[in-house]
Amino acid sequence: MVVKSHGGQVKSRNSLRKTPRNKGKFSVSRCVQPFKDGDRVIIKVEPTVKDNQVHHRFMNRLGTIMGRRGKAYVVKVNDFGKDKTIYVIPIHLRKLVVTP
């Protein structure tokens, strides 16, 4: 027998949940935030925006901006020793700020 797949968001209930105060809200400035090639970013999936949501395997992963493809950015992520290329819109990305 074939096992049912249950869809792409299986086992992601807690990681794609927002607090009741922030439910349904998102920052418009995060939709248009600019990134340059070589910027280090953190992939934080915004659960209120279903467009171009990456797999929850890549939640809170660190990546590098490689370029643009339409409205999305090309992000290179190391997935347990193997480099993978992901296309992500800016609302699901946050710039990594390094403080000395």
Answer yes or no: are the C-beta atoms of 63 and 77 closer than 8 Å.
Answer: yes
The tens digit of pLDDT for each residue in 19-58 reads 889 888 888 888 889 999 999 999 998 888 888 888 888 9
Chain centroid to CA 33: 14
In this structure, whether the domain defined by 28-95 belongs to CATH 2.30.30.70 is answered with: yes
Reported pTM: 0.84
pLDDT band at 15 (very low <50, low <70, confident <90, very high): confident
The tens digit of pLDDT for each residue in 52-93 reads 888 888 989 999 999 999 999 999 999 999 999 999 999 999
The DSSP code sequence of 34-96 is ---TT-EEEE---TT--TTPPPGGGTTEEEEEEEEETTEEEEEEEETTEEEEEEE-GGGEEE-
d(CA 96, CA 41): 5
Q: Where are the domains of the chain?
A: 28-95
